[in-house]
Amino acid sequence: MPLLQFDTTLSLSSDQKTELAERVTALYTEAMATTAGHVAVSIRERDDADLHLGRAVDGPLVFLDAEIRQGRPFERKRAFALETMTYLCETFDVPEANAKVVFTEHPGESMMGVDRVGGEWDED
């Protein structure tokens, strides 16, 4: 189960949050060659004082912590990160300098739901 956790100073409506979750899920499934049923997204709005970035410019901040299964090639992760940041910048007027993505990778067995435990990633 990938967990895509957004922290942002944006103030988003419920519809915008749903749009963000749906779009990022689609970007993830395309870049990572997987299905959408197990992708989890959280969106946490923060006060300006809650998020800090040394190289930030004026404008909202958006940080994505992508908790994913280990084994995805760099090229897939980079494609997802770039597509996601481009979407955020264009859709929500986030300055490019203020959009960041970090990947935290876990063994497949660390990713579980009630009905299953994840396996190792296989590109085939």
- What pLDDT does residue 123 have? 57
Residues 6+ away with beta carbon under 8 Å from 2: 28, 32, 34, 38, 39, 40, 66, 67, 68, 69, 111
* Residue 122 placed within a domain: no
Categorize the per-residue pLDDT at 69 as very low, low, confident or very high, splitting at 50, 70 and 90: confident
| Whether pLDDT at 1 is above 80 | no
Q: What is the CATH number of the domain that holds 103?
A: 3.30.429.10
Q: What digits encode the pLDDT tens for the residues 70-121?
A: 889 999 999 999 999 999 999 999 999 999 999 998 755 555 555 655 665 5
pLDDT (mean) for 40-65: 97
Running DSSP on this structure, what letter comes out for residue 114? S
| Whether pLDDT at 36 is above 80 | yes
* Residue 60 placed within a domain: yes
- What pLDDT does residue 37 have? 85
* Residue 16 placed within a domain: yes
Q: What total of structural domains would you count in the chain?
A: 1
> Domain range for residue 62?
3-110
